[in-house]
Structure 1
């Protein structure tokens, strides 16, 4: 539940075309201990003010010239996409009370003001509003945890696949290529076994940061396993434009790591697959990059390999299939 201090520090906006009404409401609020109160006599400003300040409570007069409270609430609904409208309607018309609730207001206060009613309704509504925000933040945090690796903060496989799908759709729409790089750390297991999991975790965090720092903002860096990472290159012209960043990553990962008093070294092997050359869907593209990674490992590590192009069906007649990606292009850095 929100604390008393959180309630008294909530952001409140008073909207009324009458200066005396605004002064009275501000006095009531400040006497009750509310510290973050602002006001406007111009209803057309309310939506923009709410966009800027995200008020926890809007005390809104319903009867105003030119733009009335109902019209203001219509605009606020477009901002509050989650459906929670933090509006407490102010009205002297009994018939407006139900109409205000139907329009989206959470509650109403009758004019002339009854001091006890004002205090109670404002406190109750702020308590609910702040609790609602806490729950929304908790839900967002849980969603983040479900989509990100807890150790490195990078996207996990679930989010990675979604990012690849989006990238492939964009590439197909604009007749462009995209690439997936599958990375595996060489020499990580001995470090983990010798120096312990805490040291291994620190190495993984440092690797993740290096990968992010060496990638473009539009690319996605994800952790998909113990010491396995995948990078999605959102737009590449050809194989060479994927090999260049791969070579750079091999150099970056190979630089020494400082963990406490230790200086440790490892390297990385990378498999590269291009859309639409090597595969045309998410899982197959990851699979082709993984096969190319296997070739890089088998060929001596600390290098990158590009997946082979799939053979045409008629080329397979009478031919002996290669193991893995067999003819993948290998480059040692």
Structure 2
């Protein structure tokens, strides 16, 4: 629900070329308890102001010289992020009310102003707007939770599959290589046995942080579950580039960890596959990287192996 405090603290912009109308509206809103009200007499400033402040409500005069309210609404539509135009139009022409609603305005108030009606319409629109924002934000949170690992915040399997697909498409289009790195922590079970799951979870978060810091912004770090991680490297020049990245990650992950005041050492093993040598789709690349990881583990751990599987 939206509280009265939320409504009174909402961000409101008044747009009118007549300063007397602005002062009157400001007086009405401040008298009703609204505390975040700004204004402008220049319609050309509205989009920039909106872009910076993302107002919860815009009280917009329809009839202004050089740029009228309809033109302002069209400009706002181009920068509004969630396709909701929080505009309450102001007009002395009843014939323009329907056109304004059809143009995207949510409601209208007439000149000369009726104080009770104006405040009621402002209150109602703000209540709807703030509720819409809460629902929209909740949906974004739910979407994020569905695509990210709850412990580390990294991409989960679902998002990883999408990122691999995008990276392969990018590699195909640009005729370059991309790499998939499977990372598995060596001896992680001993960490859990010694420090419990809380200690183990802390290590996983630290590992996630180190991996994110080790890759480029365009690359993706994901957690498959347990102590298994995957890195999607969008573009590499050759197997040498993947080798350098793997060596860097092994070095970073082998640095000591502090768990409940104790210093713990742990290493990692990495398996690498490269598009299109070791696979031309996500399944083949994943299989190749997994087999390479198996080879790295059995070669003594704390190292990496590039797949020797050739995809024909």
Q: Do these two structures clear the TM 0.5 threshold for a shared fold by scoring above it? A: yes
Work out the CA distance in 1 between the residues paired with 2:226 and 2:14.
54
Are 2:284 and 1:284 aligned?
yes
**Residue 271 of structure 1 aligns to a residue in which SS?**
strand
Stretch of structure 1 that moved more, 118-127 or 245-254: 245-254
Residue in 2 that maps onto 1:141: 141
> Per-residue displacement from partner, 1:50-109 (whole Å, max 9, x unpaired)?
111101100011111221111111111122242211000111111111111111111111
Work out the CA distance in 1 between the residues paired with 2:67 and 2:257.
63
Stretch of structure 1 that moved more, 100-109 or 245-254: 245-254
Cα deviation for residue 309 of structure 1 reads 4.2
**Residue 196 of structure 1 aligns to a residue in which SS?**
helix
**Residue 310 of structure 1 aligns to a residue in which SS?**
coil
Residue in 1 that maps onto 2:208: 208
Residue in 2 that maps onto 1:19: 19
Residue in 2 that maps onto 1:82: 82
**Residue 271 of structure 2 aligns to a residue in which SS?**
strand
Work out the CA distance in 2 between the residues paired with 1:71 and 1:217.
39
Aligned residue pairs, count = 312
Contact 2:277 2:311 in 1 (8 A): no
TM-aligned CA distance change 1:217 to 1:83, over 3 Å: closer
Q: How does 1:130-169 map to 2 (within 5 A)?
A: 130-169=130-169
Q: Which runs of 5+ in 2 are unaligned?
A: none
Work out the CA distance in 2 between the residues paired with 1:283 and 1:33.
60
Residue in 2 that maps onto 1:107: 107
Work out the CA distance in 2 between the residues paired with 1:77 and 1:217.
31
Q: How does 1:83-98 map to 2 (within 5 A)?
A: 83-98=83-98
Cα deviation for residue 186 of structure 1 reads 0.9
The TM-score, its normalising length taken from structure 1, stands at 0.90
Q: How does 1:221-236 map to 2 (within 5 A)?
A: 221-236=221-236
> Per-residue displacement from partner, 1:115-143 (whole Å, max 9, x unpaired)?
10011110111111111111111111111
TM-aligned CA distance change 1:287 to 1:309, over 3 Å: closer
Work out the CA distance in 2 between the residues paired with 1:62 and 1:44.
13
**Residue 24 of structure 1 aligns to a residue in which SS?**
helix
The CA RMSD measured in Å over matched residues stands at 1.4
**Residue 35 of structure 1 aligns to a residue in which SS?**
coil
